[in-house]
């Protein structure tokens, strides 16, 4: 380790250089600045920006490590210290539980949509490793985050690779993101996870103010009981609660006001934009098509337009607090 000191225009800084393990292929770990003064700690946005810079310059393990810090900080915005544990309600939620609940829910939402489900929870991806099944959020916490932060390197049977993994692996893509996982004698995640983790942090509701992103909620009109209303739609259209939730998500993205005031072809055009961006993914379209709401290409049919309008008529869009 080399320690030097420097003085900026406004405050003194200690500059630390850590020599990274040759095993990870990094000759030097990025500079870590520790301010000797009243400067604020690094923000989550700065961590994401640093991770992007590292990835662009081939420092993928450094980018992963930095994003793990951003995920951990985001998880504590969602579940502040003192939050009661869901696993052990009489105790406070641990850093591990907060991390995995936050990240698991974000992974599920990004890769699968999972319309209508809570923002936090499991990822929906279970992988076998070391003779046990693990949610991938637990894998990221236990075998990547903890090993990198505490030991500065990955275990011998855990890797972070540039290449998409072969047939033994699991490959998942959605909304322009693609990740792979391979298990067996080794656990291998590919560099696509950097983009997914960056998306998970940047577009998390808890970080909206920091990244300048406004999030919105669908709020029912006064006097309407949501379970009763949604159940009536399921019965009227002879469909499933899940399909109604998919179209409810489309209403939130397009806004109730735009749907109730637009012609049918304009509504269909807006819905097609959601399909093209994979906001409404292929799995969702398969479900909607089988009940006559869309065609094979995801184009909204008259039956789908009618249900969208009916949902939109009972909700309004409100900025999330």
pLDDT at 10 over 60: no
d(C-alpha 257, C-alpha 275), whole Å:
20
pLDDT at 27 over 50: no
The dihedral built from the CA positions of residue 55, 96, 124 and 119, taken in this order, carries a sign that is negative
Residue 315 exposure: Cα atoms within 13 Å on the Cβ side:
27
pLDDT at 245 over 90: yes
Tens of pLDDT along 55-64? 999 999 999 9
d(C-alpha 308, C-alpha 319), whole Å:
21
- pLDDT confidence of residue 305: 98
DSSP calls for 262-288? S-HHHHHHHHHHHHHTTSS-HHHHHHH
- pLDDT confidence of residue 320: 87
Mean pLDDT of the chain: 87
- pLDDT confidence of residue 166: 54
- pLDDT confidence of residue 173: 87
Least confident residue range of 136-145, 159-168, 191-200, 239-248: 159-168
Report yes or no on whether pTM surpasses 0.85. no
- pLDDT confidence of residue 294: 97
174 - beta bridge partners?
Answer: 177
Tens of pLDDT along 124-182? 999 988 888 999 999 999 999 999 988 888 999 999 998 665 555 788 888 889 999 98
Least confident residue range of 24-38, 68-82, 124-138, 207-221: 24-38
d(C-alpha 268, C-alpha 285), whole Å:
14
Tens of pLDDT along 38-54? 556 789 999 999 999 99
Tens of pLDDT along 77-128? 999 999 999 999 999 999 999 999 999 999 999 999 878 788 899 999 999 8
Q: Give me the residue label for tokens 């869901």.
A: 86
The better pLDDT of the pair 28, 211 is held by 211
Residue 171 Rama label (left phi>0; alpha psi -120 to 50; beta): beta
Show the tokens assigned to 155: 């275990």
Contact 279, 231 (CB under 8 A): no
Show the tokens assigned to 157: 């049977």
H runs (alpha helix) in the chain = 44-56, 60-78, 95-112, 136-139, 146, 192-202, 208-211, 226-237, 241-254, 256-261, 264-276, 282-290, 302-312
The better pLDDT of the pair 27, 258 is held by 258
Residue 77 exposure: Cα atoms within 13 Å on the Cβ side:
17
Residues in the chain, how many?
Answer: 321
The better pLDDT of the pair 14, 79 is held by 79
d(C-alpha 73, C-alpha 207), whole Å:
10
DSSP 8-state class, residue 85: P
What's the whole-number mean pLDDT along residues 239-251? Answer: 96
- pLDDT confidence of residue 169: 76
Residue 22 exposure: Cα atoms within 13 Å on the Cβ side:
0
pLDDT at 7 over 80: no
Pick from 216, 222, 246, 265: which is nearest to 311 by CA? 246
For residue 82, give the 3-state DSSP assignment. Answer: coil
d(C-alpha 304, C-alpha 309), whole Å:
9
- pLDDT confidence of residue 1: 43
């Amino acid at each position: 380790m080399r320690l030097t000191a420097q003085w900026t225009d406004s405050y003194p800084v200690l500059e630390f250089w850590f020599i990274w393990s040759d095993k990870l292929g990094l000759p030097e770990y990025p500079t870590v600045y520790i301010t000797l003064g009243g400067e604020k700690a690094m923000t989550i946005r700065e961590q994401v920006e640093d991770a992007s810079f590292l990835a662009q310059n081939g420092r993928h393990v450094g980018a992963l490590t930095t994003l793990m810090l951003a995920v951990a900080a985001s998880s504590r915005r969602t579940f502040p210290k003192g939050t009661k544990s869901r696993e052990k309600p009489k105790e406070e939620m641990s850093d591990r539980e907060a991390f995995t609940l936050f990240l698991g829910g974000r992974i599920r939402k990004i890769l699968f949509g999972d319309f209508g489900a809570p923002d936090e929870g499991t990822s929906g991806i279970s992988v076998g490793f070391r003779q046990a099944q693990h949610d991938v959020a637990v894998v990221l916490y236990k075998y990547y985050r903890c090993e990198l932060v505490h030991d500065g390197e990955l275990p011998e049977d855990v890797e972070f690779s540039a290449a998409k993994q072969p047939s033994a692996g699991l490959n998942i893509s959605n909304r322009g993101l693609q990740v792979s996982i391979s298990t067996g004698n080794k656990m291998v995640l590919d560099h696509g996870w950097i983009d997914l983790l960056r998306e998970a942090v940047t577009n998390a509701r808890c970080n909206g103010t920091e990244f300048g992103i406004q999030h919105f909620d669908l709020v029912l009109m006064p006097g309407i009981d949501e379970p009763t209303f949604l159940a009536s739609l399921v019965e009227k259209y002879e469909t499933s609660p899940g399909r109604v939730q998919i179209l409810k998500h489309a209403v939130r993205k397009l806004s109730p006001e735009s749907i109730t005031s637009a012609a049918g072809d304009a509504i269909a055009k807006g819905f097609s934009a959601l399909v093209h961006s994979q906001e409404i993914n292929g799995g969702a379209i398969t479900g909607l098509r089988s009940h006559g709401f869309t065609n094979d290409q995801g184009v909204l049919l008259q039956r789908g337009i009618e249900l969208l309008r009916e949902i939109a008529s009972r909700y309004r869009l409100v900025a999330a607090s």
